[in-house]
């Protein structure tokens, strides 16, 4: 009698991860990759696709996952609208997103070759919402959304139904999304920047449209959100998409001990910053940061500096290198001892988690919103573009954990009114602060051992491994 024992270990399921080269998109997908590798418990092997100019962003990920994650470096495809040497949206103007979406399509052929020549090719690809064409690589494609579920609902509606305006000249014309829960509505100027740029009949824009439509035609969706804050929108996505394979795995946060080098080296030595914060009273510091893309105008910098000065509050203000020369003369001297200006990049998650930080003046990029929710910090909202108006409305009107300060990329707040709101945010006993603390516990529970997002991550892993084994 021959006893057959299952000697072979089941092959690891090989997953290809393809982030979009913009900090707000790469940061969550790379941290998700880390969670996937750790939680996958050896059943998954991961390849992360980057171009040479973005390889350094993988340094922490590769060193902290002991060989379970490998880089695939493909040359950046040249593009007439992207200067030589630029491979990340951070070095492009805001309109650079669509040029980058277009340029990366030219990785299709080299990527197809790599897959066909690979000894154990990936059975699935998880790629950013801006990389819809990866749905056509012959792999099961999972969309990764670094934005909110409500944003996915709105983008699906916009690109599948292509609503037109009744009053093309009126930027205040309101678009209402009646098929989406809560029937969100926005003036035209707050609708997706990319959608508003669409030109019918132009091959460039028809490719952009098809990129979003390919998300809807893909196999599944992994999203950086969680059911306690977006349950209705997640359920709507499961019904509204062509598939119900939707996994909410957020808030995606840096691995323990890595909250101070996320997305790039901090400009100020971390111990200097932490010592400065340690010297402040609990909840008395306002953190001011507008994400990785937004650069304030000179008038906005002046109004913000004046508001911070008049408010008498303690603050940490992160300002882009390109805007530093607009800081009013003498400002930093006049706020010495209570204000710290960081030129460049700050360890945002480490700062938000510090006990001294009580409020966050933010543009409401989705990563910043989730990080503020997880740290229980009151948000002072100033949305600028893209999905930030949707995020700000969710934060203020639905979750009740934020206060409106301003809105619009060209708006300039009144510095006296701004000073009043800033002062109240760290001294007032606002009910929004109580709600923020409560929501923080829900966010951390969601990614805890028995939390909803951890369960969804495990379900995603089980699903992808089963697909790999069925191949
Ligand atoms: P965040 O999403 O907050 O903002 P953007 O960089 O603008 O990213 C999409 O990404 C958003 O939904 C869009 O609206 C668009 C974009 N950070 C840091 O650690 N230090 C800094 O000095 C500045 C930023 C981190 C921050 C966050 C990320 C920014 C998904 O906004 O912690 O993780 O960079 O992402």
Measuring from atom 11 of ligand 1, which residue has the nearest CA?
365
Q: Cα(459)–Cα(453) distance, rounded to whole angstroms?
A: 10
**Interval 274-330: pLDDT, tens:** 999 999 999 999 999 999 999 999 999 999 999 999 999 999 999 988 888 889 999
On the question of pLDDT at 8 being above 50, the answer is no
Which atom of ligand 1 lies closest to the CA of 367? 2
Catalytic residues: 25, 128
| Residue among 19, 20, 22, 24 whose CB has most ligand 1 atoms within 8 A, to mutate | 24
The alpha carbon of residue 103 and the mean position of all alpha carbons in its chain are separated, in whole angstroms, by 21
Cβ count near 432 (within 10 Å): 19
Which domains are present in the chain?
A: 13-253+449-469 (3.40.50.2000), 263-445 (3.40.50.2000)
Burial group, residue 454, by CB count within 10 angstroms (0-12, 13-18, 19+): middle
**Interval 16-61: pLDDT, tens:** 999 999 999 999 999 999 999 999 988 999 999 999 999 999 988 8
Mean pLDDT within 417-430? 90
The confidence score (pLDDT) of residue 258 equals 79
Which atom of ligand 1 lies closest to the CA of 148? 12
Tokens at 220, concatenated: 């599944």
Measuring from atom 22 of ligand 1, which residue has the nearest CA?
345
CA of 428 to the centre of ligand 1 (A): 28
* DSSP symbol at 361: E
Mean pLDDT within 108-136? 96
CA of 145 to the centre of ligand 1 (A): 13
CA of 449 to the centre of ligand 1 (A): 26
The alpha carbon of residue 436 and the mean position of all alpha carbons in its chain are separated, in whole angstroms, by 20
**Interval 337-372: pLDDT, tens:** 999 999 999 999 999 999 999 999 999 999 999 999
Backbone conformation region of residue 11, classed left if phi is above 0, alpha if psi is from -120 to 50, else beta: beta
Mean pLDDT within 110-119? 96
Q: Cα(288)–Cα(432) distance, rounded to whole angstroms?
A: 18
* Strand-strand pairing, 174-176 and 185-187: antiparallel
Q: What is the mean pLDDT of the chain?
A: 93
Cis amide bond preceding 15, omega within 30: no
Which atom of ligand 1 lies closest to the CA of 386? 14
For the chain, percent of residues with pLDDT exceeding 70:
97
On the question of pLDDT at 10 being above 80, the answer is no
The span from the first CA to the last CA of the chain, in angstroms, equals 31
pTM, rounded to two decimals = 0.96
The confidence score (pLDDT) of residue 471 equals 64
CA of 193 to the centre of ligand 1 (A): 17
For ligand 1, residues with CB inside 6 Å are 23-25, 27, 146-147, 262-263, 289, 291-294, 318, 345-346, 348-349, 365-368, 371, 386-388
The confidence score (pLDDT) of residue 392 equals 98
CA of 90 to the centre of ligand 1 (A): 11
On the question of pLDDT at 179 being above 50, the answer is yes
Q: Cα(435)–Cα(106) distance, rounded to whole angstroms?
A: 46
Burial group, residue 5, by CB count within 10 angstroms (0-12, 13-18, 19+): exposed
Instruction: Residue 394: name the closest of 244, 232, 245 by CA.
Output: 232
Q: Cα(390)–Cα(191) distance, rounded to whole angstroms?
A: 9
Which atom of ligand 1 lies closest to the CA of 294? 7
Mean pLDDT within 221-225? 98
The confidence score (pLDDT) of residue 325 equals 85
On the question of pLDDT at 193 being above 60, the answer is yes
Q: Cα(36)–Cα(277) distance, rounded to whole angstroms?
A: 33
Task: Tell me phi and psi for residue 465, to 5 degrees.
Answer: -65, -40
The confidence score (pLDDT) of residue 4 equals 29
- Per the CB < 8 A criterion, the answer to whether 181 and 232 are in contact is yes
Q: Cα(212)–Cα(197) distance, rounded to whole angstroms?
A: 14
Q: Cα(381)–Cα(367) distance, rounded to whole angstroms?
A: 14
The beta-strand segments (E) located in 112-160 are 124-128, 140-145
On the question of pLDDT at 460 being above 80, the answer is yes
| Residue among 321, 365, 386, 389 whose CB has most ligand 1 atoms within 8 A, to mutate | 365
| Residue among 291, 317, 354 whose CB has most ligand 1 atoms within 8 A, to mutate | 291
Burial group, residue 186, by CB count within 10 angstroms (0-12, 13-18, 19+): middle
Which atom of ligand 1 lies closest to the CA of 362? 3
| Residue among 361, 367, 369, 375 whose CB has most ligand 1 atoms within 8 A, to mutate | 367
CA of 294 to the centre of ligand 1 (A): 9
Mean pLDDT within 229-254? 93
Scanning 312-347, the segments in alpha helix (DSSP H) are: 331-334
Task: Tell me phi and psi for residue 259, to 5 degrees.
Answer: -85, 5
On the question of pLDDT at 5 being above 60, the answer is no
User: Helix 203-217 vs helix 149-161: angle between axes, to the nearest 10 degrees?
Assistant: 130
The confidence score (pLDDT) of residue 3 equals 31
Q: Cα(217)–Cα(263) distance, rounded to whole angstroms?
A: 31
């Amino acid at each position: 009698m021959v006893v057959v024992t299952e000697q072979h270990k089941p092959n690891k399921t090989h997953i290809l991860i393809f982030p979009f080269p913009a900090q707000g998109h790469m940061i969550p997908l790379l941290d998700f990759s880390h969670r996937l590798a750790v939680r996958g418990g050896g059943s998954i092997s991961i390849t992360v696709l980057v171009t040479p100019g973005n390889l350094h962003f993988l340094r922490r990920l590769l060193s902290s996952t002991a060989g379970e994650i490998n880089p695939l470096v493909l040359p950046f495809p040249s593009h007439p609208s992207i200067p030589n040497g630029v491979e990340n949206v951070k070095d492009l103007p805001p309109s650079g997103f669509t040029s980058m979406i277009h340029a990366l399509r030219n990785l299709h052929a080299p990527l197809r070759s790599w897959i066909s020549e690979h000894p154990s090719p990936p059975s699935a690809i998880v790629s950013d919402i801006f990389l819809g064409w990866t749905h056509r690589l012959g792999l099961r494609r999972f969309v990764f959304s670094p934005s909110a579920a409500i944003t996915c609902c709105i983008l699906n509606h916009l690109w599948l139904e292509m609503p037109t305006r009744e009053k093309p000249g009126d930027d205040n014309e309101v678009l209402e999304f009646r098929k989406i829960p809560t029937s969100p509505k926005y003036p035209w100027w707050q609708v997706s920047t990319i959608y508003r740029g669409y030109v019918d009949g132009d091959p460039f824009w028809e490719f952009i449209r098809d990129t979003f439509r390919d998300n809807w035609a893909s196999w599944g969706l992994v999203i950086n959100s969680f059911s306690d804050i977006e349950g209705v929108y997640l359920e709507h996505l499961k019904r509204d998409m062509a598939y119900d394979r939707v996994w909410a795995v957020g808030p995606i946060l840096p691995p323990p001990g890595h909250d101070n080098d996320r997305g790039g080296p901090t400009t100020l030595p971390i111990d200097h910053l932490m010592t400065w914060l340690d010297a402040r009273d609990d909840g008395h510091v306002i953190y001011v940061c507008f994400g990785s893309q937004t650069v304030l105008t000179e008038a906005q910098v002046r109004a913000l500096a004046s508001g911070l000065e008049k408010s008498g509050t303690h603050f940490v203000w992160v300002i882009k290198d390109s805007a530093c020369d607009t800081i009013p003369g003498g400002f930093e001297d006049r706020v010495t001892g209570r204000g710290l200006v960081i030129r460049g990049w700050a360890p945002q998650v480490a700062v938000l988690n510090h006990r001294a930080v009580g409020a966050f003046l933010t543009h409401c990029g989705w990563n910043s919103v989730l990080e503020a929710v997880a740290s229980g910090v009151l948000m002072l909202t100033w949305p600028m573009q893209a999905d930030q108006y949707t995020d700000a409305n969710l934060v203020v009107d639905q979750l009740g954990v934020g206060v409106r300060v301003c809105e619009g990329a060209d708006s300039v707040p009144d510095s006296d009114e701004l000073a009043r709101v800033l002062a109240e945010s760290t001294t007032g006993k606002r009910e929004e602060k109580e709600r923020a603390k409560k929501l923080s516990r829900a966010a951390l529970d969601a990614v805890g051992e028995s939390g909803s997002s951890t369960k969804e991550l495990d379900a995603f892993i089980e699903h992808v491994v089963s697909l790999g084994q069925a191949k």
